[in-house]
Structure formats: structure tokens, C-alpha cells
Copies of this chain bind each other. A is one copy, B any other.
Amino acid sequence: MEILDNSFGTIFKITSFGESHGDLIGIILDGVPAGLEFDLEFIQSEIDRRKPNQSHLTTPRFEEDKVKVLSGLFKNRTTGAPICLIIENQDIELSIYEKYRNFLRPSHVDYSALKKYAGFSDFRGSGRFSGRITAGFVIAGAVAKQILKRYNIRVFAYTKSIGNIVDETRYSSDEIKKLYDLRHNSLVGAIDHAKSKSMEFLIETVKNQKDSIGGTIKCIVDNFPAGKGGPIFNRIDSNISKAIFAIPSIKAIEFGAGFKSAKMRGSEHNDPWILKNGKVQTTKNDAGGIIGGISTGMPIEFTVAVKPTASIGIPQKTVNIKTMENVEFEFSGRHDPCIVPRVIPVIEAMTAIVLLDCLLIEGHIPRVFNS
């Protein structure tokens, strides 16, 4: 745990700053190994996966989301110095927030923020509470992914369900390359083509009703080495879950068989070790690649629940905090009818950040890349 709110990680440490409707949002990356050739194009492509207004299924807020480097590179390589990256805000809409500022939007942070910051926080577009802050996480995650890729480790997430439409298939991590292509062809980040179409239709329906809908995302990491993490407080599951809950709208996480484990017997859940091609593996990976907080060498697998977007266009009951009256109101701001597809790159990013940090802590990845 940090005492402050805006930094995460130990050796690979990110510090978030900026506001949703301020001048910019930014991120400082500290602890990036020196000597890394910086792949700004890849970072931009990751940002693009999260940016608003990608299709008719996302918010109409227009942001180019062009990432800029302010420090830490020299001759396009990392130097060991902190790397500061920013995205300038463009489509800033202020009046609406001023207008509604005394109405506590249901399931929004207005009341919590008011109690915490005594009215001083930047309330425009939820300020620091905005999902837009996670664009910085995606930048950091892209750098983490680039480094993990050198070690053949890939982090992959996809939409497992939207509302009641669930893709129950258990995809093998061997297929990840193929899965990338399938996900790429889906507007909602799903793998199964038919399910994807149903999900899209559901989101459109919900959107037309000025409502919103939740979903689940599954994340798979392959080739993560065995024996990393710690048995007490540096458990990989502990650290991943802490990171994942830093993403707005996440309400649950389960590793491997997760809640299903609670219904199982040991004889059913236990996962025998076997030798396969001289390598120690498990047969089922119900543990999701983590036992006793430490990696087993099997794919790390977890699923998260994303709640429906709180901003909806339907009249809702709430409190006017200034007049202290129960009221009904209709908030007309722009919003995503379903945030799930845009959360996928953020899930991948936070996972990559945690796992890179873990490998740096363990000395598995050096502090300087000599080649």
C-alpha cells in the first residue's frame, strides 16, 4: 500500500497526474530499464484501443489522444531517468458540470469526493475520478508489454460477456496469436464472431434506451516464469487485484476457477502436476497460474466484472446537496453505453505493469539492457 494515491509499483513505478477536463493527463514512468529502444508507435496504438469515439458504440467525446514524451529519452532510448508522457485534452465540456454540480449523480463519485476533498476537487468530467485517467495506465502498460515481449510474455484480454451474453469457451493460451486476430475483428473485443454480433446488438439496444450495460473481461498471460511473487503480501494475485481495482467500474475479480472453486471438492479442484516434454506442468490450471501467491509457470488467468456505466440518460432520483432535498433529474452528458470494450486495454496494461514490476523485483529482468 502506498500512503499516497497517485503512484503504483516499486521498481517499475508509475505516477499519474492530470485531469479529465484540465489541460492534459500524464504519467511518469520511473524504473524503466536504461537502454530500451522506445516504441512510441506501439504506445500510440495501445492508446488508440482505449480512446473515445472509436465506433457508434462508444462515447461521442472526441479526443485525438496523441501521446507526447517530455523527458527521459536520449537518442530514442531510455536513459534510466524518469519518462514523462502526456496526452493533451481537446474536447472539454465544462458548462454541463457546473450546471449539475449540486446533484449527486447516482453511483457516481460526487458524494464521496465531496466528503473527501471538502469541495476543492476538480469536478469537471469527474476530474481525477474519470476513466480518462486510465489512458495514462495504458501508456505505462504499453511500455511494460514491450519489455515483457522481450521475454516472450504476452498479456491478452477479451470480452467474455456483455449482460447475459456469455462466451463460455475456455481458450487455450497456445492460441493467443489467433485470438488477437479474432478480437481485432470484433467491435466489442470479443473472440467468438456470433457472440460478438449479439453483444453489439445488445449495446446498441441499450444505447437507444439511454441506458447502459455491464460485462466481464477475461485476461490470460502466457509464458510467465514459475517461482515469482511472494507467499505473504507480495502475492501475484494480491498485486494484480490491487491494480485491477484501480480501474473505475470493476466490481469483482476471480483467478482460475474463482467462485466455482467454492463449490468444488479438493479431489475435483486439485490440479495434478505432470511431466510433459520434461517440463513440470499442471493438468487443468484451475489455480489460474498462481498457487500460494507464486506463479506456477502455467498461464495466469483471471476474470473481472465491469459494472454498467453510471451515466445514463434516464431520469433518476437523487439528492440536491446544496438545498438538501430529494429530487429527480436527468443527466444529459455524453457517455459510453457499455464501457467493457474500452476497459480491455486497461486491464492488460495494469496486469503488464504488475508483472513487469514483479520480474524487476526478482532480478529476472535487469535494470540496464546492454543490448
- The residues of B that contact A227 with a CB separation of less than 8 Å are 112-116
Q: Mark A208-231, 1 if CB is under 8 A from B, else 0.
A: 000111111000000001111111
Given A128-B231, A261-B214, A116-B294 contact (CB < 8 Å): yes
| Highest count of chain B CB atoms <10 Å: which of A81, A215, A278 | A81
Q: Mark A104-124, 1 if CB is under 8 A from B, else 0.
A: 101111011111111011101
Bound-state Cα–Cα, A86 to B293, Å: 24
| A308 & B265 in contact (Cβ 8 Å cutoff) | yes
Counted per complex, copies of this chain come to 4
Select the stretch in A50-58, A172-180, A319-327 that faces chain B. A319-327
Bound-state Cα–Cα, A212 to B264, Å: 8
| Highest count of chain B CB atoms <10 Å: which of A127, A237, A307, A317 | A307
Given A19-B81, A294-B112, A324-B275, A255-B251 contact (CB < 8 Å): yes
| B4 & A113 in contact (Cβ 8 Å cutoff) | no
- The residues of B that contact A30 with a CB separation of less than 8 Å are 4-7, 15
Select the stretch in A41-49, A144-152, A191-199, A360-368 that faces chain B. A360-368
| A15 & B262 in contact (Cβ 8 Å cutoff) | no
| B232 & A133 in contact (Cβ 8 Å cutoff) | yes
* Minimum Cβ distance to chain B for residue A89 (Å): 11
Given A1-B357, A4-B13, A81-B121, A258-B269 contact (CB < 8 Å): no
Q: Mark A10-33, 1 if CB is under 8 A from B, else 0.
A: 110101111100111110101100
- The residues of B that contact A74 with a CB separation of less than 8 Å are 19, 22, 120-122, 124, 127
* Minimum Cβ distance to chain B for residue A350 (Å): 10
Bound-state Cα–Cα, A87 to B116, Å: 31
- The residues of B that contact A235 with a CB separation of less than 8 Å are 245-246
| B216 & A259 in contact (Cβ 8 Å cutoff) | yes
| B118 & A370 in contact (Cβ 8 Å cutoff) | yes
A168 within 8 A of B: no
User: Quick one: which of A310-339 are within 8 Å of B by CB?
Assistant: 310-312, 314, 316-319, 321, 324-326
- The residues of B that contact A143 with a CB separation of less than 8 Å are none
| A15 & B15 in contact (Cβ 8 Å cutoff) | yes
User: Quick one: which of A236-255 are within 8 Å of B by CB?
Assistant: 237-239, 241-243, 245-246, 248, 250-255
- The residues of B that contact A357 with a CB separation of less than 8 Å are 1
Cβ-neighbour of A116 out of B80, B108, B273 (below 8 A)? B80
A295 within 8 A of B: yes
- The residues of B that contact A114 with a CB separation of less than 8 Å are 227
Q: Can you list 17 pairs linking A and B with CB atoms under 8 Å apart?
A: A6-B233, A15-B28, A19-B81, A23-B70, A26-B70, A79-B122, A106-B270, A107-B286, A108-B291, A109-B291, A216-B262, A252-B253, A261-B307, A261-B308, A270-B308, A275-B324, A363-B363
